[in-house]
Amino acid sequence: MFALAMRSIRQRPGRFAATLLSAFLGAAIIMAFNSMHDTAGAKGVDSTSAETLSTSAGVVGGYGTLLVFFAVASTLTVNVRQRSAEIELLRCSGATPAQIKRMVVGESVAVALVGALLAIGPAMLGGRLLLDLFKDSGQVAESVDYSFGNVALLSGIDITVLAAAGAAFLAVRRATRKTGPRGRGRNFFVRAALVLGALSVCSTFAFSSTDAALMAPAAYGAILLAVGFALLSPKLLRALLDRLPATGPSGYLAVRTMRERAAQLSGVLMPLILFTAMATATLYMQAVENDAINASGVPKSIDAKNLETLNLVVVGIIVVFSCIMLINSLYAATTYRRREFGQQRLAGATPGQVLGMIGIESLVLTVTGVFFGTAAGLAGIIPFTMVRTDAVLPEGGLGIWFGIVGVAAAAVLVTSLTTARRALRTPAVGAVSLVA
C-alpha cells in the first residue's frame, strides 16, 4: 500500500497541492514561533527577553497547532470525498478498508513531510522578522541573537506530520465505513468543545479587572465554542436550508444542491467560522484593553505591549491561514463540480443560472459562517468587556466586524465565482464525459 501511495502521488501530484500548501504554511508558522523557544534558551539572554519570547512561542504555538490540524483536515476531507469512486474501485478489487487507510495516510504523511521540510527556510526568515518586531517594540533586548534549533525543527515536523496522519485517518475512515453507527465521535467532540467553551467563558467572571490573565479564558472559550460550531456545521447548515425558501431557477438549484452536499460544504464552513470567531474576539478584546489602559492614564507595560503584539500577530496568522483554507477548500470543491455543472447545462440551465446558483450558495455559506463565528466571538467579548470596563459591549462600534465580514465574504465569493466561471468554459458535453 505504501508503494501504491507513492505511485498515486507521482501520477497525480495536482490533487495533493492543497494539502502540500496547508502543511507548508502550518509548519512554517509553528517553526517560526517555536524558534523563539530556541532563542530564549540561548546563552546570554536576559530573563525579561526570555519570558517574552517563550510566551509568544507558547501562545501562538497553540493557535498554530489548531490551525494546522483544521487546515490539513479540511483539504484532506475534500480530497478523500473527491476520490470516492477510486476508493470504491479499490474495495471492489479486493483492497480491505485497512489497506486503503494505510494508502491514504501514507500519501498524506509523505506530502506533509515534504511541506514541512520546504518550510524550514521561510520559517527561519519569519522567526528573524518576528524577533526584530519584538526588538523594535522594546520587548526584547537588542543584544539577543536569533537561534533556530531542535525545538523549532522537531515541533514543526512532528506536529505537521501527526496532524496530516490523524486528519487523513479520520477522513478515509468515514469514506470506507459502510455500516454501523456514525457520528458518535464527532458528537462527543462537539459537546466537549461547547461545554468546555462555555465553562471557560464563564470563568472570566472569576478574575479581577486588572488581572494579567483576564483575556485568556474569554479568548480560549470563544475558540472552543467556534470549534464546536465548526464541527456541528453540517447539522447547522441543514437546519438553515430546511427553512430557506427557493425562488427562481438559481435559487432552486442552490438550495437543492446544498441540501444534498451539506456534509461536503461543511469543509468550507469550518475555516469560515473559526476565522470570524477568532478574529472578532481577539481584535475587539484588544480594543477594549487599549481603551481601558488609555482611560487609566498609565503607560503600557512590557507585558501589555507583548500581549498586543501577540494578538495582532495571531490575527494576522488567522487571516492568512483561514483565507488559504477557504480558498483551497472552495477551489477544490468547485473544480470537482465541472461534471455536475455540465449535467445542469444539458438539462436546460444557462451558464448565468449556474453562476447565480454558486453565488447564492456562497452567500448562504458566508452568512451562516459569519453568524455562528460572531456568536462564538461575542461569547468571549461580552464577559471580558463586563469585567474589564463594567460595560456590556465594546465602544468601538461595528467597524472591526465589518472589516472581518468583508474579508470573509470576499474570500468566499471571489474564489467560488472565479473557479466556477473557469469550470464553465468546458463545453457541457465534454464536462459530463469527465470521470467523476
pLDDT mean across residues, the chain: 81
| Count of residues in the chain | 436
C-alpha cell of residue 117: 521540510
Percent of the chain with pLDDT over 70: 85
Q: What pLDDT does residue 223 have?
A: 86
Contact, 255 vs 351, CB < 8 A? Answer: no
Residue 57 or 374, more confident? 374
Contact, 225 vs 198, CB < 8 A? Answer: yes
* Secondary structure (DSSP) of 41-88: TSTT--HHHHHHHHHHHHHHHHHHHHHHHHHHHHHHHHHHHHTHHHHH
Q: Is the pLDDT of residue 387 over 70?
A: yes
pLDDT in tens, 120-129: 999 999 899 8
- pLDDT band of residue 185 (cuts 50, 70, 90) is low
C-alpha cell of residue 426: 468546458
Question: Using CA atoms, how far apart are residues 291 and 338, in angstroms rounded to an integer?
Answer: 51
Kindly state the average pLDDT of the residues 255-265: 74
Question: Using CA atoms, how far apart are residues 222 and 374, in angstroms rounded to an integer?
Answer: 10
Least confident of 225-229, 275-279, 360-364, 429-433: 429-433
Q: Is the pLDDT of residue 375 over 90?
A: yes
Q: Is the pLDDT of residue 11 over 60?
A: no
Q: What pLDDT does residue 383 have?
A: 94
- pLDDT band of residue 377 (cuts 50, 70, 90) is very high
C-alpha cell of residue 240: 438553515
Kindly state the average pLDDT of the residues 94-110: 81
pLDDT in tens, 328-362: 777 777 777 777 888 888 888 888 888 888 888 88
Residue 401 or 82, more confident? 401
Q: What pLDDT does residue 20 have?
A: 81
- HEC states along 332-376? HHHHCCHHHHHHHHHCCCCHHHHHHHHHHHHHHHHHHHHHHHHHH
Q: Is the pLDDT of residue 379 over 90?
A: yes
C-alpha cell of residue 132: 526584530
For 230, half-sphere exposure in the C-beta direction (CA atoms, 13 angstrom radius) is: 28
Q: What pLDDT does residue 3 have?
A: 55
Q: What pLDDT does residue 255 have?
A: 76
Q: What pLDDT does residue 10 have?
A: 55
Q: What pLDDT does residue 195 have?
A: 94
What's this model's pTM, rounded to 2 decimal places? 0.77
- pLDDT band of residue 436 (cuts 50, 70, 90) is very low
**Residue 93 DSSP one-character state:** T
- pLDDT band of residue 177 (cuts 50, 70, 90) is low
Q: What pLDDT does residue 8 have?
A: 56
Contact, 172 vs 80, CB < 8 A? Answer: yes
Q: Is the pLDDT of residue 170 over 60?
A: yes
Q: What pLDDT does residue 33 have?
A: 85
Q: Is the pLDDT of residue 14 over 60?
A: no
